[in-house]
Amino acid sequence: MKLLVTRRMTPRAERAISSRFEAEFRDETAGLTPDQAAAALREYDYIMPTLGDRFTAEAFQGAPLRCRMLGNFGAGYNHIDVAAARAAGVTVSNTPDVVTDPTADIALTLILMTARRASLGERILRAGEWRGWQPTQLLGSHVSGKTVGIIGMGRIGKAIARRCHFGFDMRVVFFNRSPVSALDFPAEQIDTLHDMLGQSDFVVVAVPGGAGTRHLIGAEELNRLGAQGFIINIARGDVIDEAALIDALRDNRIAGAGLDVYEREPLVPDELTALDNVTLLPHLGTATEEARTAMAMRALDNLIAVSEGRAAPDEIA
């Protein structure tokens, strides 16, 4: 059974994958184009896609498919047209749970770096421009005791909120499209995004990507956050209107931003990198050896299940 893995994996994961499948690991940095995805669906029995592979509706159309399953490497799957896959008889699974803690940790990293202007401070130091300690040097914002607003109270949103409450004694408010209950920490669900933004010092975007959340945060929402507010995005880049964000940062209509994802990544606009009130990370959300290996093993478990005639544990309905 031939398996295509669209990116290189950790050595431990590659050994495990190769022990179960005739595996080919694609040694490329760019994701599959729709044409390449279409060709792969006709050449391989199974595929382990990664972020950036464009399994669009068109990729599933035309000649009969050989592929039985896409065992996605990652929790997010907005790069796969699941409805088109299902119509073509292709099972799709993802890797929930294992991404939760490392992604939540990155959110806290961005909150702290952005509030305390750590990214700018490091750039000044590395450039040899630091002239010594001063009482007014790089004044930032407290994190402890402030209010954090979470947009999307799923697994990752809850993990972020828990860290903020127990670690930094922050008040937690959140906006979620459906009611959320049985939380193990104090938090208040706010009925509208507009009202939640107005109550928050820090806002963390933790919603799934896709057409339903594209540009959820635009100029109006950023204005509502206000000049003392910080926005953090660890979800998908296009959840925030990047042009509107650049304008808000440039005009100091918000205090700052911390970004791990970008609207057209790996392209990051020069206008964004030139700003001093934004912290920029290169999509590090799950970038630990433990997490990336666990993600691959979770995807592998799903692929093995289908290859053995069982249901994928993490099949996307």
Active site residues: 236, 265, 283
Long-range contact pairs involving 33-39 (C-beta distance under 8 Å, separation at least 24): 34/58, 34/59, 35/59, 38/62
Q: Which class for 101: exposed (0-12), middle (13-18), buried (19 or more C-beta within 10 A)?
A: middle
Tokens 């290169």 identify what position? 282
The residue ranges of DSSP E strands in 54-210, in sequence order, are 69-71, 91-93, 147-151, 171-175, 188-189, 202-205
197: part of which helix (H) or strand (E)?
A: helix 193-199
Q: Which residues does 166 contact at the CB level (< 8 Å), separation at least 6?
A: 185
d(CA 138, CA 133): 10
Contact 232, 257 (CB under 8 A): yes
d(CA 32, CA 13): 21
DSSP reduced 3-state for 15: helix
Closest CA to 200 of 179, 178, 231: 231
Closest CA to 83 of 96, 74, 70: 70
Closest CA to 163 of 232, 105, 233: 105
Residues pairing with 3 in the sheet: 23, 46
The residue ranges of DSSP E strands in 181-245, in sequence order, are 188-189, 202-205, 230-233
